[in-house]
Structure formats: structure tokens, C-alpha cells
């Protein structure tokens, strides 16, 4: 017959792991604070029981991913106390898993709070022959697409990081995306010339700082311009 302490010990060990992670990891404390806020917000907007369960399950994935990330970081530091590219690679992958689960949780929470009725109205609008998409929504969606395109572009390159350097210049992409948006939103040729000039200055600053080469800046400018054209020229007005 198993003694009571043999039954309770695994739970005590697991609880100690949770408490230790909460005490030592700032991101874990932040995630738990966000969990509390989201739950209160879900109760405030009267989410159904099924929706609350989906929200709690999604948020729990973020917390679990953060705990795995902390465990991997501790293991890597133990095995490789000195700097190693492979150790950094392992930590970056673990952090990327946390980022993916966080983004998914934000999307799920946003859709649940957005509401089923508004979602149905949006689907009807998008399914119509000429759905009207306001300029602000075009810019927001375009920014998201530019971000994804830049991250993919940097991933295809062999140098640089996500936030600095890489095959596609994020600064040039966003600069020329906003410039393209402004060209479609104004009839003033002076404003058009100024926004294009500002985008070029942003790109030129990255070249002067020796962060990007001319091909990388050109590719970034092309990405931003094409996405701007898609959202303001080809989508229904």
C-alpha cells in the first residue's frame, strides 16, 4: 500500500515548480497577470461557458509554453554555461514557441470578445460583391501582412536577425507601405512627394548605418509598395 506522502509528493514537486517559475521569471508573472485581466474581461462581456472554456484552454497553453521555455533555458545554461550558437538557437526556439502561443491566445481572445454577431456581420460584408473596407482597417491589415512578409524574408536570408539586418529591410518595407497608402489617400502632389521622400530617407538611414545593403533596402521597398498597392488598389473600395 502506497503511503500518503508518495501520493502527495508529485503534486508538491509540481507546485514548487509553478511557484519557482512565478518567483524567478518576470514573463511568467506578466502572463498570469494577463490571464487574470482576460478572465475578468470575459466575465464583463458575458462570454458563454463554452467560450470561457476555450479562452482558458488557450491561455493555459501560453502559461505552459512559458514554463517549458524557462525549463529549457535552465537546462541549456547548465549544459552550456559559456556562449554557444547552438545554445542560443535552443533558447530562441523556446522563446518562439511562447510567442506563437501568445499570438494565438490574443487572436482567440479578440475573436471571442469581438462577438459572434459582429463576426457574422463581417463575414456577410466580406462575402458581398463589393465589400467596403475602411482605410484604417486596410492600413492595420496591411501592417500585419508587411510584418509577416518581412519576417519570412529575413528567415530566407543567411545573415541578420529578425529585428536588425536580414534579407528584407523592415524599415524600408513599412516606410514605402505607408507612403503608398498616403498616395492613395491624398490628391495633393506635394504630400505625395513628401511621403515618398520620407520613406526614401528612412531607407537611406539604414544604408548609412550599414545595417542593410542596397538590394536589401530595394527588396524591402518593393515589399511595402506591393502590399500597399494590393490593399488600396486591388481590394474593393
Annotated active-site positions, please? 66
Please tell me what DSSP assigns to residue 67.
Answer: H
Distance between CA atoms of residues 237 and 232, nearest Å? 8
Distance between CA atoms of residues 191 and 181, nearest Å? 12
Closest CA to 137 of 233, 232, 234, 225: 232
Q: Are 222 and 128 in contact (CB under 8 A)?
A: no
Angle between helices 49-79 and 85-114 (to 10 degrees): 170
Beta strand spans in the chain (E)? none
Q: 103 exposed, middle or buried (CB, 10 Å; 0-12, 13-18, 19+)?
A: exposed
Instruction: Provide the phi-psi class of 46: left if phi over 0, else alpha when psi is between -120 and 50, else beta.
Output: left
How many other CB atoms are found less than 10 A from the CB of residue 98? 21
Q: Are 142 and 177 in contact (CB under 8 A)?
A: yes
Q: Are 70 and 77 in contact (CB under 8 A)?
A: no
Amino acid at each position: 500500500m502506497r503511503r500518503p506522502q508518495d501520493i502527495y509528493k508529485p503534486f508538491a514537486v509540481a507546485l514548487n515548480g509553478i511557484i519557482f517559475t512565478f518567483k524567478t521569471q518576470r514573463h511568467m508573472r506578466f502572463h498570469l497577470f494577463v490571464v487574470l485581466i482576460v478572465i475578468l474581461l470575459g466575465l464583463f462581456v458575458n462570454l458563454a461557458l463554452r467560450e470561457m472554456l476555450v479562452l482558458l484552454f488557450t491561455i493555459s497553453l501560453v502559461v505552459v509554453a512559458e514554463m517549458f521555455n524557462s525549463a529549457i533555458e535552465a537546462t541549456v545554461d547548465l549544459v552550456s554555461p559559456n556562449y554557444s550558437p547552438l545554445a542560443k538557437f535552443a533558447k530562441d526556439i523556446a522563446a518562439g514557441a511562447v510567442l506563437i502561443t501568445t499570438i494565438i491566445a490574443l487572436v482567440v481572445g479578440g475573436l471571442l470578445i469581438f462577438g459572434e454577431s459582429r463576426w457574422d456581420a463581417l463575414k456577410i460584408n466580406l462575402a458581398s460583391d463589393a465589400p467596403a473596407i475602411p482605410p484604417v482597417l486596410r492600413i492595420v491589415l496591411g501592417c500585419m501582412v508587411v510584418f509577416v512578409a518581412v519576417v519570412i524574408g529575413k528567415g530566407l536570408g543567411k545573415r541578420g536577425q529578425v529585428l536588425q539586418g536580414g534579407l528584407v529591410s523592415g524599415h524600408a518595407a513599412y516606410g514605402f507601405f505607408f507612403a503608398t497608402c498616403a498616395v492613395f489617400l491624398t490628391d495633393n502632389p506635394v504630400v505625395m512627394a513628401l511621403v515618398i521622400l520620407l520613406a526614401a530617407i528612412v531607407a537611406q538611414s539604414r544604408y548609412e548605418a550599414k545595417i542593410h545593403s542596397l538590394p536589401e533596402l530595394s527588396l524591402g521597398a518593393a515589399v511595402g509598395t506591393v502590399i500597399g498597392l494590393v490593399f488600396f488598389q486591388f481590394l474593393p473600395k
